[in-house]
Chain A
């Protein structure tokens, strides 16, 4: 190897997937000299699995990334080909935006954004070693031997570490989508004392659109009125494609049952732990034997390709079984398979080794984000990448890390879950994981986070101005609705009757009228009481008013939650010496070293009594401190 110093950076990002792109953009936008490394520059921001962004909880993540000044929402708005709001009828806490994305266009757009970013260098190379000195990061070594120095390194290696692809009984070393794996970095991480785990995930087959008989499929169209991901996007293109729906047939199930012995999942060839929420089709048929049919969505991979993605048909069966399975689906009798489905195993770290800032507890300046942390999904990866980038930057600027808590953002729930509880399968975000999901809505992500993004320095003037204008519009209109009385005139009562709403006996504030379930802000136009406001402002106002009782309750819960989060635990507590703690708590607290009392309370094995004991311990520490202080004065 030819060893030479190839460059000196503030921050190096290892990997240019969804986590790596956000991390590199964040650090460079915050003014730090950054280099991002990718095994292959033609795979920047690749989507090796489903060709869509968003969905339940994930859509919320994208909006939060955007509200903080991240890139994913903007890039998705630029390259989507179909868009839809899910859960329209089920309530504002779970409205979720999802868009089909042109995979190649997304990659090309993101690469273009990186290439044009000031302070950012993009390099094609395999990082094989993390260099440290006294448990402090100093740089990385790449496969050619070249050394790049850095003050902080962010690992965003996705599913590339010792990647192994499995199709039936064939398996080979590979990254996703036939790209090279990264086979050497794992050993370097292990030698740094980092604990690795082995996870598994999979992706279904792709077929040629021309071989599909659409007359047998159900069409799934996008929304008529399209909602953007980014709070900055004003005009959007129209839907350009449809998705399609078919179902597994009894023949499909027969083929799978007859060939179960050929699935590596059942023959024990796969050791990695796969996610429960993402089982392969053979898994579904074994576990849910009484279900006669499963949905299969057929989604376009882009505009300039005939490749279609078969969502719901993830499998690690041998290729011949796959083809039979696919051709047993109505409409796909003559399907031509372009890429077979595969399972992929990869190394990831145990995320409980990280602080909430995503820096390793034991290695100064080393951060980690995305699938390497045991998560799954582009959006989860991007969210972590953004936070790791922000916090690496904050560290180098000698500023406090930005840690979002569970009441501030899905991002906070995601990172807290990973870091505090760890995960035993690839972690997917779900709205049911969020205790405060009524507050963590996609419509108010800017209200929750944009000020924080501004304080960090990631929110541009344009974004901030927009945010402030929106906020003022909401405040002003809320005030007007609270102050404006409607009197029980004939005109008013006729208006109410038209909307099946009870007559007025006395005057009523517009605010209270809007609380009626049958009332809508739009109706106010009829009586000249609606202001000319953008849709997103009206949405915020309507939700705030209609769900006020629930929101108040949630806010109270959040306040209580915050009190525990705000009690910081000093870094150097020796838990083994605290007599009142039960043994299990002592062990767990010693190894996880939580940052606050609230975080401690979420560790399994730490009881409320242990928390009380810690509270007393903290108080006695404080008193010892203050008495020291006094004696010092004397």
Chain B
């Protein structure tokens, strides 16, 4: 019974290594991997127990990461099922994005301890370890559910429960019409069901959309350092990274034009991106580099525009400034290398740029003030984000999307002239998906609602 579906999960501890390993296990492991991985040959054709280099692409063709992919065909794997392990660049963001992709392709999120469970059930792990396996399952589940419960507190759970309530009310009314056809409960018409379902879909869409805001909090603020060559972008980044405890260090690959660092600034997780080096190479590469920089700015939460205090005119980057302006991005203008100029020049410059920050990376002056600014921005941003309902768990997002699919099916059923009993089937499916987030059973809730809302009896 264990080889019925394919699961995926992160098998390395997040934040403890420069590389994350995503494990996929189950009968569809190879075909799911083939859905996202482009290497010299397909995963299906790749011999077992070998490792291949390749790239992961999103569905729209965007490159997500360069990875190494290890293939292990059943039974020569940890779970004794077909297994693929993808080593991607560390950092939560990429690993998570890759997992999302795999879920889209049909993998199911692995339950806590599920790889180990499968390993045991398929005879991989010795009998003497059975109890340890059971403990792992329970302990991890407790941990995960604690985290999930914390995430579910407050606004998100209110939102989901609100939608459940709406669906339960609708379903209870439909069910009472079906189960008690002779009682004078108001009949739900198909058009009423359509309207209410559409309303819940819209609410779901907003919640799914809010997932993006949720990410800021969870994965940190994305800060891009941009500017002309030689203004000191890399040194600023290194300085910030060295001073603050680096959470995960990405490996700056030679083909990667944007270098990332995860740092912790005054308790706020920040993903720093340095667009270093892009302007120093030959023309056509430079063109590519500029594009990547602009894209990074587009996706950033905050841009640090770095200029050279000693030569402000030359170091002004019109491309970056225009982009920041047109994309309406929050930015901090920072002048570096104040150690290389006279006091008079500096005060003049300060007068001309009252909003800007002035610092010297090499003499470690003014770094604190920059951190202060980033923190202040992040705090503001956090408040903003708190007002949104935050989804901080991929599983939740996945369940929400499944619920939305079921509701869409209900609309389709109504349009296709299906009867109320079929529509109820879809609606109940949606309710079940939402219930998987909050831990409720659809059937019991609906039966309860029927009795509490409607007046029935002999």
- Which residues of A does B touch, CB under 8 Å? 49-50, 56-57, 86-87, 89-94, 96, 202-204, 276-281, 283-284, 287-288, 291, 294-295, 297, 311-312, 314, 430-433, 435, 437-438, 517-518, 547, 550, 554, 560, 563, 567, 578-582, 607-610, 612-613, 615-617, 619-620, 623-624, 627
Closest 3 A/B residue pairs (Cβ): A580-B134, A91-B419, A91-B421
B121 touches A616 (CB 8 A): yes
Contacting residue for B135 out of A284, A432, A580, A607, CB 8 A: A580
Q: Which residue of the partner chain A has the closest CB to B178?
A: A94
B135 touches A94 (CB 8 A): no
- Alpha-carbon distance between A547 and B134 when the two chains are bound, in angstroms: 43
A430 touches B447 (CB 8 A): yes
Q: Nearest Cβ in chain B — how far from A559, in angstroms? A: 9
Contacting residue for B137 out of A86, A433, A616, CB 8 A: A616
Contacting residue for A567 out of B1, B127, B141, B458, CB 8 A: B1
- Alpha-carbon distance between A294 and B419 when the two chains are bound, in angstroms: 28
- Alpha-carbon distance between A56 and B46 when the two chains are bound, in angstroms: 57
- The segment from B16-24, B111-119, B330-338 that touches chain A is B111-119
Among B400-458, those with CB < 8 Å from A are: 416-422, 425, 443, 446-447, 450-452, 455-458
Once A277-B451, A278-B457 are accepted as A-B contacts, the answer to whether A617 and B134 lie under 8 Å apart by CB is yes
- Alpha-carbon distance between A50 and B123 when the two chains are bound, in angstroms: 59
Give me 17 other A-B pairs in contact (C-beta within 8 A), A90-B420, A287-B455, A580-B134 excluded: A57-B179, A87-B178, A90-B421, A91-B418, A94-B420, A278-B456, A430-B450, A432-B446, A433-B443, A437-B421, A563-B1, A578-B134, A580-B133, A612-B137, A613-B134, A619-B130, A627-B127
Q: Nearest Cβ in chain B — how far from A281, in angstroms? A: 8
Question: What are 22 A-B pairs at a CB distance below 8 A?
Answer: A49-B458, A50-B458, A56-B179, A90-B421, A283-B457, A284-B457, A294-B184, A311-B458, A314-B458, A430-B175, A432-B446, A517-B417, A550-B422, A581-B134, A609-B111, A609-B137, A615-B117, A615-B121, A616-B130, A616-B134, A623-B127, A627-B127
Q: Which residue of the partner chain A has the closest CB to B439?
A: A607
B133 touches A616 (CB 8 A): yes
A620 touches B455 (CB 8 A): no
Q: Please tell me if B183 contacts chain A, counting CB pairs below 8 Å.
A: yes
Which of A89, A294, A582, A613 is most buried by chain B, counting CB atoms within 10 A of its CB? Answer: A613
Once A279-B457, A312-B457, A608-B111 are accepted as A-B contacts, the answer to whether A431 and B134 lie under 8 Å apart by CB is no
Q: Please tell me if B131 contacts chain A, counting CB pairs below 8 Å.
A: yes
Which of A435, A563, A615, A619 is most buried by chain B, counting CB atoms within 10 A of its CB? Answer: A619
Q: Which residue of the partner chain A has the closest CB to B447?
A: A432
Q: Which residue of the partner chain B has the closest CB to A95?
A: B421
Q: Nearest Cβ in chain A — how far from B10, in angstroms? A: 19
Q: Nearest Cβ in chain A — how far from B454, in angstroms? A: 8
B120 touches A616 (CB 8 A): yes
Measured between beta carbons, the chain B residues less than 8 angstroms from A567 are 1
A550 touches B425 (CB 8 A): yes
Contacting residue for B181 out of A56, A288, A578, CB 8 A: A56
A612 touches B117 (CB 8 A): yes
Q: Nearest Cβ in chain B — how far from A427, in angstroms? A: 11
- Alpha-carbon distance between A275 and B123 when the two chains are bound, in angstroms: 50
Measured between beta carbons, the chain B residues less than 8 angstroms from A580 are 131, 133-135, 137-138
Q: Nearest Cβ in chain B — how far from A561, in angstroms? A: 12
Q: Which residue of the partner chain A has the closest CB to B122?
A: A619
Contacting residue for A93 out of B113, B135, B177, B421, CB 8 A: B421
Q: Which residue of the partner chain B has the closest CB to A287?
A: B455
A86 touches B182 (CB 8 A): yes
Among B354-412, those with CB < 8 Å from A are: none
- Alpha-carbon distance between A287 and B181 when the two chains are bound, in angstroms: 21
- Alpha-carbon distance between A607 and B450 when the two chains are bound, in angstroms: 26
- Which residues of B does A touch, CB under 8 Å? 1, 4, 111-114, 117, 120-121, 123, 127, 130-131, 133-135, 137-138, 141-142, 175, 177-184, 416-422, 425, 443, 446-447, 450-452, 455-458
Measured between beta carbons, the chain B residues less than 8 angstroms from A617 are 130, 134
Once A609-B137, A609-B141, A612-B111 are accepted as A-B contacts, the answer to whether A91 and B420 lie under 8 Å apart by CB is yes
A204 touches B458 (CB 8 A): yes
- Alpha-carbon distance between A49 and B169 when the two chains are bound, in angstroms: 31
A438 touches B134 (CB 8 A): no
B184 touches A295 (CB 8 A): yes
- Alpha-carbon distance between A281 and B455 when the two chains are bound, in angstroms: 10
Q: Nearest Cβ in chain A — how far from B80, in angstroms? A: 13
- Alpha-carbon distance between A280 and B121 when the two chains are bound, in angstroms: 54
Which of A433, A581, A607, A620 is most buried by chain B, counting CB atoms within 10 A of its CB? Answer: A620
Measured between beta carbons, the chain B residues less than 8 angstroms from A204 are 458
Q: Which residue of the partner chain A has the closest CB to B451?
A: A276
Measured between beta carbons, the chain B residues less than 8 angstroms from A295 are 182-184
Q: Which residue of the partner chain A has the closest CB to B453?
A: A288
Measured between beta carbons, the chain B residues less than 8 angstroms from A430 are 175, 179, 447, 450
Measured between beta carbons, the chain A residues less than 8 angstroms from B458 are 49-50, 202-204, 278, 311-312, 314
- Alpha-carbon distance between A277 and B457 when the two chains are bound, in angstroms: 6
B1 touches A431 (CB 8 A): no
Once A432-B179, A616-B137 are accepted as A-B contacts, the answer to whether A92 and B419 lie under 8 Å apart by CB is yes
Measured between beta carbons, the chain A residues less than 8 angstroms from B447 are 430, 432-433
Contacting residue for B127 out of A94, A279, A437, A624, CB 8 A: A624
Measured between beta carbons, the chain A residues less than 8 angstroms from B446 are 432
Measured between beta carbons, the chain A residues less than 8 angstroms from B184 are 294-295
A517 touches B141 (CB 8 A): no
A581 touches B1 (CB 8 A): no
Q: Nearest Cβ in chain A — how far from B272, in angstroms? A: 39
- Alpha-carbon distance between A271 and B112 when the two chains are bound, in angstroms: 46
Q: Nearest Cβ in chain B — how far from A88, in angstroms? A: 9
Once A295-B182, A620-B127 are accepted as A-B contacts, the answer to whether A432 and B457 lie under 8 Å apart by CB is no
Measured between beta carbons, the chain A residues less than 8 angstroms from B131 are 579-580
Once A288-B455, A433-B443 are accepted as A-B contacts, the answer to whether A90 and B419 lie under 8 Å apart by CB is yes
Measured between beta carbons, the chain A residues less than 8 angstroms from B120 are 616, 619-620
Measured between beta carbons, the chain B residues less than 8 angstroms from A563 are 1, 4
- Alpha-carbon distance between A49 and B457 when the two chains are bound, in angstroms: 13
A619 touches B443 (CB 8 A): no
- Alpha-carbon distance between A171 and B430 when the two chains are bound, in angstroms: 49
A613 touches B137 (CB 8 A): yes
- Alpha-carbon distance between A43 and B123 when the two chains are bound, in angstroms: 61
- Alpha-carbon distance between A434 and B184 when the two chains are bound, in angstroms: 23
- Alpha-carbon distance between A517 and B414 when the two chains are bound, in angstroms: 11
- Alpha-carbon distance between A630 and B120 when the two chains are bound, in angstroms: 20
Q: Which residue of the partner chain A has the closest CB to B450?
A: A432
Which of A57, A278, A288, A430 is most buried by chain B, counting CB atoms within 10 A of its CB? Answer: A430
Once A93-B421, A547-B422 are accepted as A-B contacts, the answer to whether A517 and B416 lie under 8 Å apart by CB is yes
Q: Which residue of the partner chain A has the closest CB to B432?
A: A435
Q: Nearest Cβ in chain A — how far from B33, in angstroms? A: 25
Once A615-B117, A624-B127 are accepted as A-B contacts, the answer to whether A291 and B179 lie under 8 Å apart by CB is no
Measured between beta carbons, the chain A residues less than 8 angstroms from B417 are 517-518
Contacting residue for B443 out of A203, A432, A550, A616, CB 8 A: A432
Q: Which residue of the partner chain B has the closest CB to A623?
A: B127
Measured between beta carbons, the chain B residues less than 8 angstroms from A619 are 120-121, 130
Measured between beta carbons, the chain B residues less than 8 angstroms from A96 are 181
Which of B1, B138, B177 is most buried by chain A, counting CB atoms within 10 A of its CB? Answer: B138
Once A204-B458, A438-B421, A581-B138 are accepted as A-B contacts, the answer to whether A297 and B182 lie under 8 Å apart by CB is yes
- Alpha-carbon distance between A372 and B182 when the two chains are bound, in angstroms: 28
Q: Nearest Cβ in chain A — how far from B189, in angstroms? A: 11
A431 touches B121 (CB 8 A): no
- Alpha-carbon distance between A311 and B183 when the two chains are bound, in angstroms: 11
- Alpha-carbon distance between A174 and B425 when the two chains are bound, in angstroms: 44
Q: Nearest Cβ in chain A — how far from B144, in angstroms? A: 9
Measured between beta carbons, the chain A residues less than 8 angstroms from B457 are 277-281, 283-284, 312, 314
Measured between beta carbons, the chain A residues less than 8 angstroms from B175 are 430-432
A92 touches B117 (CB 8 A): no
Q: Which residue of the partner chain B has the closest CB to A619?
A: B121
Measured between beta carbons, the chain A residues less than 8 angstroms from B183 are 295
B178 touches A432 (CB 8 A): yes
